[in-house]
Amino acid sequence: MKKILTGLALILALGCSGEHSPDLNSNPSPEPAIQYNAPEFSYKGKKPIEKIDPKDISQVNNGYFADLDNDGKIDFAIMRGNALSFRKGLGDGKFLEEVVVLNVKGEVRAYKIDTPKGENKPGLFIYDQNCNGFLQRVLGVNDQGIPYFGEMEKIEE
């Protein structure tokens, strides 16, 4: 089982996987920063799809390495407060500058980037203060390669 992590803002995430994660502080990309007006989403009124055990909470928020833009290159995402930040991977161990791609309305106790059961693309799971989990799917990317997260919805099994 993956370990769940929290940051200073009581954000919870599952741990990064992979033994050879790139160092995000070295080899910065020479590409200019991406400008993007991040959408806002709320889980209020949605039905949770899973529940987590608070015992799985850790105090570390390392973020996630996953191909969120479906280009075959590993990207990096991390939740800071209620904002999901994204760094597009260039495929050579370098990443573009961080850009906020989603703002979540409501309290965020936890999050993880994971592939839902029966699906082949990773999504964002948001957990409220009661440890109820909601899914925000990546519906596509814009012309800059920034993933667009669709409305949170129940996973159909």
User: What was the pLDDT predicted at 145?
Assistant: 84
With contact defined as beta carbons under 8 Å apart, do 128 and 31 qualify? no
Q: Work out the pLDDT band at 157, boundaries 50, 70, 90.
A: very low
Model pLDDT for residues 5-55, shown as the tens digit of each residue: 333 233 444 443 333 455 555 555 555 456 677 888 888 888 999 999 988
Which has more pLDDT, 151 or 83?
A: 83
> Alpha-carbon distance 25 to 114, whole Å?
24
> Is the model's pTM score more than 0.85?
no
